[in-house]
Amino acid sequence: MHKTIVWTLAVVAAAACLCAYPHPASDSWQQLFNGRDLSGWQHVGPGEMTIEDGLIRTNGGMGLLYWTGGKRGNCRIRVTYKMRDQDDNSGVFIRIPIEPREPWMPVNYGYEVQIDNNPDDYHVTGVLYSLTKALARPGKPGPEWNTMLITLDGPRTIVMVNDVKVTDYSEGQEVPPKKASYEPERGLRPPEGFIGLQNHSDKDVVFFKEVSLQPLR
């Protein structure tokens, strides 16, 4: 077969793999939050996370509650949350390269999957904060519940909010330049990393009911 044809078929096959939606290894989910206390979790930075009526509640900030069970990749992360008010700010951290000791390293070297009813499509719920533009805006205001499903498939990150795709990003794709000091540094992120929840400020209160993990096939 001619080399050009072989190369073309290889490119088509690679593109097909990239577009295909990854499948879980099984239907079972590992619950990372037991609904009673913060066993298996560690907080760093200002503010704190507390348990209120069986839910994780954000208090003050900016801080980070991370799962101490180690790095995870090639998995799905399901997070069920609600804002206290019409709009409150938080986020789910993924691909954090090392165990956090302060809250800004995860911002700059991992990804924050945003929780915020922001009018800016690069800062709204479900995007990789300031890096990707929202494909849709399905996030519900407080106090309605939302379900966020984050898929880590090698270098690809897919975010669904309430069963609607908001983000589908692969490492190396073009992102807008950094505009503000509090926005993350640009650059590649690792295929696996630590997982965390953000407590943003005194005025932002978000409740988390579920944080669970499901390996991919």
* Rounded Cα distance, 94 and 48, in Å: 19
Domain ranges, residue 142: 25-215
* pLDDT surpassing 60 at residue 68: yes
Three-class SS state of 63: strand
Contacts of 172 (CB under 8 A, 6+ apart): 155, 188
How many percent of the chain have pLDDT more than 90?
A: 87
Within a domain: 5: no
Average confidence (pLDDT) over 198-217: 97
Within a domain: 96: yes
Within a domain: 99: yes
Average confidence (pLDDT) over 87-113: 98
Is 133 within 8 Å of 148 (Cβ atoms)?
A: no
pLDDT greater at residue 217 or residue 54: 54
Q: How many domains does the chain have?
A: 1
How many residues are recorded in the chain?
A: 217
Within a domain: 13: no
Give per-residue pLDDT as tens, 27-48: 889 999 999 999 999 999 999 9
Which pLDDT does position 12 carry in this prediction?
A: 38
Give per-residue pLDDT as tens, 6-30: 343 343 344 444 456 788 766 889 9
Within a domain: 6: no
Which pLDDT does position 22 carry in this prediction?
A: 80
Contacts of 96 (CB under 8 A, 6+ apart): 66, 105, 106, 109, 110, 193, 194, 195, 196
Which pLDDT does position 132 carry in this prediction?
A: 98
Within a domain: 19: no
Which pLDDT does position 19 carry in this prediction?
A: 55
CATH of the domain at 117: 2.60.120.560
Mean pLDDT of the residues in the chain: 92
Within a domain: 58: yes
Give per-residue pLDDT as tens, 121-174: 999 999 999 999 999 999 999 999 999 999 999 999 999 999 999 999 999 999
Residue 168: DSSP 8-state: E
Within a domain: 60: yes
Residue 46: DSSP 8-state: S
